[in-house]
Chains A and B, each alone.
Chain A
Amino acid sequence: EAAVTQSPRNKVAVTGGKVTLSCNQTNNHNNMYWYRQDTGHGLRLIHYSYGAGSTEKGDIPDGYKASRPSQENFSLILELATPSQTSVYFCASGERLGGPYEQYFGPGTRLTVL
């Protein structure tokens, strides 16, 4: 079955450090997304991509960069991590294949910045 995987699943980082969260999808979808989810908030879109080589800013891009080197891989980069970036991060892939648009999510990465 097609899947979205994320690594690492858990990460503890120090303030000011660099963090890279990785996402891989075998759905062959063009679109990929990074969200964060905090208590009391729904998932909020950080960055997204239309395909290899493209990245676009979502609703809350400040403090994050993204990289899409291939159809399958989409990374989220925190160059200078801060405690406010402690959260659960979800990656998703999506496509509209003749029907309503759907997104398929990975299991999430729990990031703690100390």
Chain B
Amino acid sequence: GDSVTQTEGPVTVSESESLIINCTYSATSIAYPNLFWYVRYPGEGLQLLLKVITAGQKGSSRGFEATYNKETTSFHLQKASVQESDSAVYYCALGEASSFSKLVFGQGTSLSVVP
């Protein structure tokens, strides 16, 4: 079946350091996967951070970026310099471009950025 695997948390990073959260996917029933990163800040619902619908393309938002790599079936999230306000849980998700799209989520990676 379709699945998403991401970096096991919790992850702790010092402020201003770089970050990478790995995400790999298996899309056995989805012909043209769309890939998403969602973020959940404490006490809030999930928010879309970035999305990419075409293999080879890069998405970016709030200093984060991720490239959709079809060859390695990966969609790693990166940021060059993290801030305390980036502390949150990050979810990689796989979906399809249809009128109804079920999202398949990774297990989430909890990130703490310390001063």
Contacts and interface: CB of A to CB of B under 8 A. Distances in A.
A42 B34 contact: no
B107 A96 contact: no
Contact of B34 (A35, A43, A101, A108): A101
Contact of A42 (B4, B53, B100, B101): B4
A45 B102 contact: yes
Given A43-B91, A100-B53, A105 B47 contact: yes
Contacts of B4: 42
Interface residues of A, number: 26
Interface of B: 4, 34, 36, 38, 43-48, 51, 53, 91, 93, 95-108
Nearest to B54: A100
Chain B CB within 10 Å — which of A31, A41, A100, A104 has the most?
A100
A50 interface: yes
25 contacts: A42-B4, A42-B107, A42-B108, A43-B46, A43-B105, A45-B102, A50-B100, A58-B102, A90-B45, A90-B46, A100-B34, A100-B51, A100-B53, A100-B97, A101-B34, A101-B95, A101-B96, A101-B98, A101-B101, A103-B103, A104-B48, A105-B46, A105-B47, A107-B43, A107-B44
A96 B99 contact: yes
Contacts of A96: 97-99, 101
